[in-house]
Chain A
Amino acid sequence: MYGSLDISVGGMVAQRMRMDVISANLANRDTVLDANGEPNPFRRKLAVLRQGDPMGSTPAARELGVHMGDLQEDPAPFRKVYDPTSPFARPEGDPDRGYVYYPNIDPVMEQINAVEAVRAYEANATAAEVTKTMMAQALRLLA
């Protein structure tokens, strides 16, 4: 039983971090400028989960848990909107002259991923509940 809760908690942490990335994507749906004020649209971020939790405090979690492996950027092309009067429109000589580049984020996809992350989080929370019940039953043997 020792280490069981660690696995579920690691799963909850990973799904929560994935949810953070989804929130960032939705929040930056129309971000055309980077932190320095340059026209450099926000690229969609992808949280990739990986088996095993190096931060786990027990061998069970390190071997059987899950963690957020890395944060990848979606290489898909930016969304283009024709707006030649915009100060951020592509300049003269560019094949996309007059177009403004917007982030490559589809809110529908983000919503779908959010629902999946929430359900996976719930599954881990339920599993943690089951572990707690089993622990209580094992403890009752001694009492």
Chain B
Amino acid sequence: MFIDQVISADSIPTLAAAAKFAAQRHKLLLSNIANITTPGYRTQDVSVKAFQNQLAEAVQRRRDEGPGARLELESTDEVRMGAGTASGMTLTPKPYGTNVLFHDRNDRDFERAMQNLTENAAAFRLATDLLKNRMSILEAAIRERS
């Protein structure tokens, strides 16, 4: 299908993967904030850098395969791709705390938790805004006017 190629060829699948990752990671960051006073809780996260590498490799592979190729992300132990959830992406977090353990065995870090939340929301916003841009370009092409 022509429309399928238009949608799966350019930056749209890349942006969609980035938005999915940010939305899934958002839940982990919320959990860290919700459990900020839970005794024994350890800060959970996944590596953003590892996901970016994973995405970059997938983009490179698609480029090497030539026109018509689809963007296929390979699963890692933290980011598993494929069916099972609605978004097709499952995150398996690990304890990522860098702070000292408090007396209640919690390694809370208020500032880092809020920083991660803000940065992740900004990444989500970037991805959705760029997606919206791509969509309006397509829309303009469909209507044959700018």
Residues of B within 8 A of A64 (CB): 27-28, 30-31, 34
Q: Which residues of A contact B (CB under 8 A)?
A: 1-4, 7-8, 10-11, 14-15, 18, 48-51, 60, 64-66, 116-117, 119-120, 123-124, 126-127, 130-131, 133-134, 137-138, 140-141
Shortest Cβ distance from A138 into B: residue: B128
Shortest Cβ distance from A12 into B: residue: B34
Contact of B23 among A14, A50, A133, A134 (CB under 8 A): A134
Residues of B within 8 A of A2 (CB): 86
Q: Is the CB of A51 within 8 A of B37?
A: no
Q: Would you give the shortest CB distance from A134 to chain B, in whole angstroms?
A: 5
Q: Is the CB of B37 within 8 A of A127?
A: no
Q: Is the CB of A7 within 8 A of B121?
A: no
Q: Is the CB of B129 within 8 A of A137?
A: yes
The binding surface of chain A is classed by DSSP as: helix
Q: Would you give the shortest CB distance from A66 to chain B, in whole angstroms?
A: 4
Residues of A within 8 A of B110 (CB): 119, 123
Q: Which residues of B contact A (CB under 8 A)?
A: 19, 23, 26-31, 33-41, 86, 110, 113-114, 117-118, 121, 124-125, 128-129, 131-132, 135
Q: Is the CB of B30 within 8 A of A120?
A: no
8 further A-B contacts with Cβ under 8 Å, apart from A11-B36, A51-B41, are A4-B23, A7-B31, A14-B34, A49-B38, A116-B37, A117-B37, A124-B34, A134-B26
Q: Is the CB of B36 within 8 A of A8?
A: no
Residues of A within 8 A of B131 (CB): 141
Residues of B within 8 A of A138 (CB): 19, 23, 128
Residues of A within 8 A of B129 (CB): 137
Shortest Cβ distance from B34 into A: residue: A11
Q: Given the complex of chains A and B, what is the CA–CA distance between A1 and B20 in angstroms?
A: 9
Q: Would you give the shortest CB distance from A56 to chain B, in whole angstroms?
A: 10
Residues of B within 8 A of A140 (CB): 128, 132
Q: Given the complex of chains A and B, what is the CA–CA distance between A126 and B114 in angstroms?
A: 9
Residues of B within 8 A of A14 (CB): 34
Residues of A within 8 A of B35 (CB): 11, 49, 51, 66
Shortest Cβ distance from B20 into A: residue: A1
Residues of B within 8 A of A10 (CB): 34
